[in-house]
Structure 1
């Protein structure tokens, strides 16, 4: 299950910067790329090509991923040599050393993304995937995630396209990950507000951070449905699964939302307390349009 909320620390920078190649024709408001995706085990999978290979690779698109990850066996198959080392932290904050390399060009349909720095990690626990891509694709464009049609629609940066009928939410950035305000309702009727990461790659409804759980005594309030062992970068973590009667965000309410928590989960916030991450089981109810540069999220 996709619950490895890691941060990569490079020797010279916190996050790899990827400059996507853009077309130069005037902006007519039309999409510049439409990328089909598959939903496999609640993962949004997009097709990717890399320079020097004709094989189609399969990457998870995750708005909560601050760096681009390449499955280490895939890198070996593509004969990509490790060019550096970085330290990565898992959800339990244990540091591990891993390799990095640079892909000369990464292609996603019409898009060409040159000199993409990737971090090498074994992703076998995520199924048949070759990598994870998130902020690198999110930053340079306005990205529409249409779950009904199963496609990503990319627009040039600037104003959100005319005709968008979604409810506008403004978000903040925690490092480079978008964060929105939302509230949950408990069985006793209380509402708890919080700041949540937008994590389209999360195979859950809400994954709480332990400090938020402990502060609000959620572990004593929420009924346990089952437990779930998950292999982290370093050790097996044990998640407790439950549900909350309601999640409210942007004036929209979703009933009976599945939630999880674990004592090892503490995804630190740079500006404020982070309550947790909101994943697929919530976002599947909407079409999302994310304007990263304007820090706008539209929910339809």
Structure 2
């Protein structure tokens, strides 16, 4: 299970009103467009061209309109214009954030193009999602692309396929399950079933491709949706309005019709973090990337249905970070690397072979990515070993971190219980080493 979660939903438009607006269009002779994506921490990252500038976006079914982040360095090229100031609310306990609503933008996704797209530009430096994922993230998009196409999401082969709705033909699939969708503020909802402590509980869930957890549930004692005594307190992720904290637990199983997943991770966000996002009385939570990636999807907003087919990820175990460390990309640092010894040969003045010698102590200095500890779970193995927020991790078990992606570094902390982790860190210019063993955060078998 991946630790970063981004739910940035806000509600501004009705479904019927958006349909009347102009649409993404494909060239007349094309019936579909295929776009490759990267799956980073269960999130879909793909290229979107905005006003002629290629950027990296997240596909997020939890947003109504595109949002642009981290644009200070490209704002002139984007030519953001026709703006008005508004304030947005999302997850987190912070205040509303200021954004510029911009009209008449040109968006291009592969060969799909829209020439008068509204978007929201946020210039707040604190809302830079690049460090959280370790790859450039400039924005998010959801409803505007999903309403205009039948969209295949192939998590196993990592591609999107945008189909013209009137040309798409459903193939017979005996191993698929089809679910009806409900919409609220342009966001899709589906039903699933929790199985826990001998009780079966139906739940209505937001489909959230912009979240990297498995399930988020809102505590409801009357319906029996609680972590009980089997949980630990933790950082859950970043929302539009700040960090989100809550409880982490598991349920015995979670099913989507005949698809049954066992020992599924569940996060229960603190009530303060979701007060502006839990406006539907019958909504019980969200189903997110760590479940969705176990299927290949066909999303059909026009017919209000979604088709699920299990893929090669289906049987992968759900796991938790057993170190207590949350790491983010933290810019670059200078790294000194030794180069190979060089043997130098020469000739004497009489053309005879002169003695050779070896030039040693050669080295190179280069800029390499730095990774910092930004969250540390209280009482975790890493905290008890003496690690602190702000420590720059230099190597893990003798391997330099600059040779790894952020996602690979995170996976070190999801290893088997009892595995020893040795970290060398830079703490305010002083190199220090620490050692601890990965521990089950529940202190019992799951």
**Which bin holds the TM-score, normalised by the shorter protein?**
0.7 to 0.9
2:164 to 156, 163, 174: 156
Report the counterpart of residue 240 of structure 1 in structure 2: 247
Alignment of 1:97-246 (within 5 A): 97-102=98-103, 104-121=105-122, 122=124, 123-125=127-129, 126-127=132-133, 128-158=136-166, 161-165=169-173, 166-186=176-196, 188-209=197-218, 212-221=219-228, 223-228=230-235, 230-246=237-253
Separation in structure 1 between the aligned mates of residue 227 and residue 56 of structure 2, nearest angstrom: 40
Report the counterpart of residue 2 of structure 1 in structure 2: 5
Q: Is the 8 A contact 1:174 1:269 kept in 2?
A: no
Structure 1 segments unaligned to the other structure (5+ residues): none
Report the counterpart of residue 69 of structure 1 in structure 2: 67
Separation in structure 2 between the aligned mates of residue 285 and residue 69 of structure 1, nearest angstrom: 27
Q: Structure 2 length normalisation: TM-score?
A: 0.59
Q: Structure 1 length normalisation: TM-score?
A: 0.85
Report the counterpart of residue 37 of structure 1 in structure 2: 37
Cα distance, 1:235 vs structure 2: 4.2
Cα distance, 1:92 vs structure 2: 5.1
Aligned length: 288
The 10-residue stretch of structure 1 (74-83 or 259-268) with the greater mean CA deviation from structure 2? 74-83
Separation in structure 1 between the aligned mates of residue 110 and residue 34 of structure 2, nearest angstrom: 8
Cα distance, 1:144 vs structure 2: 0.6
Cα distance, 1:84 vs structure 2: 1.0
Report the counterpart of residue 298 of structure 2 in structure 1: 289
Cα distance, 1:214 vs structure 2: 4.5
* SS of aligned partner of 1:73: coil
Separation in structure 1 between the aligned mates of residue 8 and residue 76 of structure 2, nearest angstrom: 26
* SS of aligned partner of 2:61: coil
Cα distance, 1:23 vs structure 2: 3.8
1:20 to 6, 16, 24: 24
Greater Rg, structure 1 or structure 2?
2
Report the counterpart of residue 78 of structure 1 in structure 2: 77
Change in 2 beyond 3 A, CA 1:227/1:109? same
Q: Is the 8 A contact 1:145 1:152 kept in 2?
A: yes
Change in 2 beyond 3 A, CA 1:112/1:97? same
Separation in structure 1 between the aligned mates of residue 151 and residue 177 of structure 2, nearest angstrom: 15
Separation in structure 1 between the aligned mates of residue 189 and residue 301 of structure 2, nearest angstrom: 11
Report the counterpart of residue 48 of structure 2 in structure 1: 48
Over the aligned positions, Cα root-mean-square deviation in angstroms equals 2.7
The 10-residue stretch of structure 1 (247-256 or 289-298) with the greater mean CA deviation from structure 2? 247-256
Separation in structure 1 between the aligned mates of residue 279 and residue 217 of structure 2, nearest angstrom: 13
Q: Is the 8 A contact 2:248 2:266 kept in 1?
A: yes
Separation in structure 2 between the aligned mates of residue 222 and residue 31 of structure 1, nearest angstrom: 53
Cα distance, 1:225 vs structure 2: 4.0
Cα distance, 1:134 vs structure 2: 0.6
2:261 to 236, 254, 257: 254
Cα distance, 1:239 vs structure 2: 2.3
Structure 2 segments unaligned to the other structure (5+ residues): 310-446
Separation in structure 1 between the aligned mates of residue 22 and residue 228 of structure 2, nearest angstrom: 44
